[in-house]
Structure formats: structure tokens, C-alpha cells
Amino acid sequence: MMKMPSSSYAMLLGAALMMLVTSLNARDLPEFTRLVEAHGPAVVNISTTQTRQSARSRHQFELPDLPRGGPWDDLLEHFFGERGGEAPPQEHEARSLGSGFIIDASGYILTNNHVVEEANEIVVRLSDRRELVAELIGTDKQSDIALLKIDATDLPYVKLGSSEDLKVGEWVMAIGSPFGFDHSVSVGVVSALGRSLPRENYVPFIQTDVAINPGNSGGPLFNLDGEVVGVNSQIYSRTGGFMGLSFAIPIDVVKDVVAQLKEHGKVSRGWLGVLIQDVTRDLAESFGLERPMGALVAQVMDDSPAGKAGIQPGDVILEFNGREVATSSALPPLVGRARVGHDAEVRVLRDGKTRNFKVRIAELPADEESEAPARTHTEPDTDRLGLVVKELSDSERKALGVEQGGVRVERIAEGPAAAAGLNRGDVITRLNNRPINSLRDYRRQVERLSAGSSVPVLVIRGASPRFFALRIPQE
């Protein structure tokens, strides 16, 4: 018998091991076909029509200067308006497509608010090709959730799970109608949890790498147990298409919204009554924190739950109802879901010590914005912070929206204040966690600042409060 060289044995053994590993890896990957077969029929296609007005530009070129009364007048007016001018606004019918899913046998359907917003008619197409006009039960713009209802029988529906149990790296699956293609399936993993997006204060989004495209909005995000853990809502894209960043509304947030829409037709959210900002590394040092964490209270609203409970500007909120507040963006969703009229436990850091407050949560009011006029003057000498400040008169204080005290930055030179980011026109209301009620208070606090220390300063800028960290140089 002919012997095989040892090198050939090694090659064959390596190939066999590779095939075995590949086979094992393939068996370890999740299998989605059963999930799609079981839960895909509950996913629906949603189409809407809206009536919109638009001004139509008649032409993109200049017409020759033709005399009136010629045979071409009627033709020009038909195609270009009055002698090629701007046409009057015209109504036109706009259509949009999205996804949704049935959540119970009675015909309730979940989708995104932006899918059905301002719709004249909402048509739901089921997996068995039935098309039904849906009733809009209610919407919540802040969470981008809409609840619909159809009148039908023998409806498949999904099971709602819990987003609280999700973990980063977990497999998830989306079913929807991207670009109008019904029941398209895409899979991926949870990339991050509790994402805060611009202008989205009350939703801690689930970030995934599941391929989501226009038309997927409102569709379900499933876990491997076949439970809906999120509602696909947004993508991050520079092209309008999928680029690996998709965001879903956590189903725990959705369930609370649905319960309120069913009962009241609208959603009420909790309100604490504070303006907050992130704690930077320098601010953490100035407040005595070991690391940046919590939500820094920059302003407490008049007659607010926080104010009544004793929370003050300069407090760093560390916990809300037993939940850690790692960043400022984590606080609004927690407060928003708190029950209106009930007490909440708030743990804060003040003057290097933790304190607990019991706050009676109120309902979130409508937002109000104000503008403050800017006034500037100059003085010759700057203080050790590099500032020239001026005490506010009563009329100036009222115009700037400052309740009491405060000094305004009239001139800023090179020094700690400029390095921290202060600007001329800023109104300083607190320095080193002490209120500034007068020019005398300000000067006293400046003289007491320790060389080499880092201290917080609260300023009002454009009617908005904000903390900065001043690093006092060695003298």
C-alpha cells in the first residue's frame, strides 16, 4: 500500500476540521424561517393619502418679450400661467407608504405617527390581500406612535414582549414594506440601547444594524422568541437609504402610550420642571464627582414640582425612582413615564453630599419660549476671571428673564472665563454653587476662589441657563 506523505495528512485533517467548524457555526446561527411563518401574517402594509397645497413654478426659463393679443396668449396662459408668471397655489393628492402590525384580535394596529400624520384616508392591506380603511384612534407625536383600528375577523396578531430585557449583541428581526415591497425580512443585532436622538427627548431608542429603509417605518422589531421588542422608526443616513444605523422605539414605551391612547385618546407625560445639561469632565471635577455622570440642573421652573420639592440649580440628579441617571439624556424618558400626580424619589448631589427628595410629578405643559434682548457696556479693568461685570437693574432683569440677582458680563479678556466658554452678555447667577444676588456677592465669591481649583458657574445665555467649569490658575 502506498503511504501518503505526512503533509497531505495534515492538509486533509485541516480541511476536515474547517468543514466541521463551518457546519457547527452554521447550526449555531439563528434560524428565522419559523419566526417569519408564525408572525409575518400580522404585519400589514399601510398607505395614506393627504391633500397638500403647493405653489407651482410655471417655468425654469425666461420667455421672449412677445406682444399682447397674439394667437399664442391662450397657449402661454395654459402652460405657464399669466404670461409665464407664478401660478396660484394648487391642491394635490400625496400618497405615502409605511408598515404596521396587529396587536390583538379585535383589530388594533400599531404604526408610526409620521406614517399617518395629516392623512385623509388610511388603508391597511393585510397579508391575505384584504384592504380595509382604518380608524385613527390616537397619535403621540413625541414618541412617534399611532394607534389604528380596523373592523375585521380572523386576524393574526403579534405578542408584545419587553424591551427591558434586551441586551446589546442580541439577534433581532424586522418585517416591513421597504419601498413598498410587502413583507420584506431583514435581520441583525442590537447595536446599543437607550440612544438619545436630536429633538427626541422622551424615547430611549434601540439602535440596531437591521436594514431599515423608507416604508419600514412602523413595522415590528422581533426578538428570537417571536416577541415584538420595538417599533422601527428612524434611520441615520446621508443618502436616504440604509447605512447601518437603525432606531426603534422600545416596546415598553409603546405599551404605555397605547394604554393611554385607548383610555384617553391622548398621552400625558410626567414633568419635573427643570432644565438640565450633561456633566462634562471639568464640571464633574468642580462638583466633586469621581466621573462625569448625572443630569446637572441649570434652571428650576417657577411653580414646578422640582421647585416645590426643594431642588435647586447646581444639583446633579443621580437617580430617579431608583433608576441611575448616567447622562442628562437618560432623565427625560424616566420622568416622562412617571405617573402624573404620584410621588417620585429623586437623589441628587449637592455641595459634595447626596440628598433625597420626594417630588409630586405634574403633567408636562406646553413648551414656552422667550427671547432676551442683549445690552452691552464696557469698563476698563478685568478681575481674576478675566471679566468686567455689571449689576442688573430691575428692568434689565425682567427683560432678560432673570428672577433675582445676577451680574452681566460686559467685557471678557483672556483668562479662566474665556477659556471656559463664557461670552459677553452672559448673566452669571451662581458661582461655585453660591447664588449671585448682587455685584458685591460676585466680587466676594471671586476673591474666595482657591487657586488651582475647578468651580462651576451658572450663566443665562439667550434665556437658557447653562453651567460652565472655571479652572482657576495657580497664582
Which residues, including other chains, have CB under 8 Å from residue 402's CB and lie 6 or more apart? 392, 427, 429, 460
Please name the residues in contact with 448: beta carbons below 8 A apart, sequence gap of 6 or more: 432
Written as one letter, the residue type at 438 is S
**200: which residues sit within 8 A by CB, 6+ positions away?**
none
Kind of pairing between the strands at 316-320 and 121-125: unpaired
What CA–CA distance (Å, rounded) separates 321 from 345?
Answer: 5
Instruction: Give the CA distances from residue 444 to residues 104, 265, 439, 447, in Å, rounded to whole numbers and listed in that order.
Output: 66, 55, 9, 5
* Confidence label for 374 from pLDDT (cuts 50, 70 and 90): very low
Tell me the mean pLDDT in the region 147-155: 92
Q: Is the pTM of this model over 0.75?
A: no
- CA proximity to 161, closest of 249, 223, 246: 223
Q: State the DSSP H helix or E strand holding residue 470, giving kind and residue range, or none if neither.
A: strand 464-471
Of 471, 436, 428, which Cα lies nearest the Cα of 450? 471
Half-sphere exposure (Cβ direction) of 453: Cα atoms closer than 13 Å: 15
Task: Give percent of the chain with pLDDT exceeding 70.
Answer: 79
All three cell numbers of 323, joined, read 433608576
| pLDDT greater than 70 at residue 77 | no
Residue 315 — pLDDT band, cuts 50, 70, 90?
Answer: very high
Element (H, E) at 216: none
What's the pLDDT score for residue 372?
A: 29
Per DSSP (E only), the strands in 323-463 are 323-324, 343-350, 353-360, 362-363, 387-391, 407-412, 427-431, 434-435, 454-461
CA distance 154 to 46: 19
User: What one-character-per-residue DSSP string does 125-139 give?
Assistant: E-TTS-EEEPEEEEE
Please compute Rg for the chain using Cα positions. 30
- Judged by phi (left if over 0) then psi (alpha if -120 to 50, else beta), residue 120 lies in alpha
Res 18: pLDDT: 65
> What mean pLDDT do residues 215-242 have?
87
Give the pLDDT of residue 17: 61
Extended beta strands in 150-263, E state: 159-160, 171-176, 184-197, 200-208, 220-222, 227-235, 246-250
Domain ranges of the chain: 159-264, 270-363, 387-471
In this structure, the dihedral spanned by the alpha carbons of residues 193, 197, 203 and 207, taken in order and rounded to 10 degrees, is -30
CATH fold, domain 270-363, is: Pdz3 Domain (2.30.42)
Catalytic residue set: 114, 144, 217
Q: Are 345 and 356 in contact (CB under 8 A)?
A: yes
Min mean pLDDT across 53-67, 196-210, 215-229, 367-381 is at 367-381
Residues 6+ apart with CB under 8 A from 111: 46, 98, 99, 100, 101, 145, 146, 148, 217, 218, 231
Number of C-beta neighbours around residue 367 at 10 A? 5
Mean pLDDT, range 257-273, rounded to an integer: 90
Let me know the angle formed at the C-alpha of 405 by 373 and 372, rounded to the nearest 5 degrees: 10
Q: Which residue has the higher pLDDT, 446 or 68?
A: 446
Q: Provide the CB-side half-sphere exposure for 415 (13 A, CA).
A: 16
- Are both 159-264 and 387-471 of the same fold? no
- CATH class for domain 159-264? mainly beta
Other Cβ atoms closer than 10 A to 204: 21
Single out the residue of 269, 344, 268, 338 nearest to residue 311, CA to CA: 344
Is the Cα torsion angle 176, 181, 182, 188 positive or negative in sign?
negative
Interval 396-427: pLDDT, tens: 777 777 777 788 898 888 888 888 888 888 88
Distance, CA of 185 to CA of 177 (rounded, Å):
9
Q: Per the structure block, which three cell numbers stand in for 318?
A: 443621580
Give residue 52's pLDDT. Answer: 58
Pick from 64-68, 381-385, 387-391: least confident: 64-68
Residues 6+ apart with CB under 8 A from 252: 162, 163, 164
283 Cβ neighbours under 8 A, 6+ residues apart: 292, 296, 456, 467, 468, 469
How far apart (Å, rounded) are the C-alpha atoms in residues 16 and 52? 65
Q: How far apart are the first and last CA of the chain?
A: 92
In this predicted structure, which of 62-71, 149-158, 337-346 has the lowest mean pLDDT?
62-71
- Predicted pLDDT of residue 308: 93
Output DSSP code: residue 266.
Answer: S
pLDDT in tens, 96-137: 789 999 999 999 999 999 999 888 899 999 988 899 999 999
What are the cell numbers at 146? 399611532
Query: Is it true that domain 387-471 has CATH number 2.30.42.10?
Result: yes
At residue 240, does pLDDT exceed 80?
no
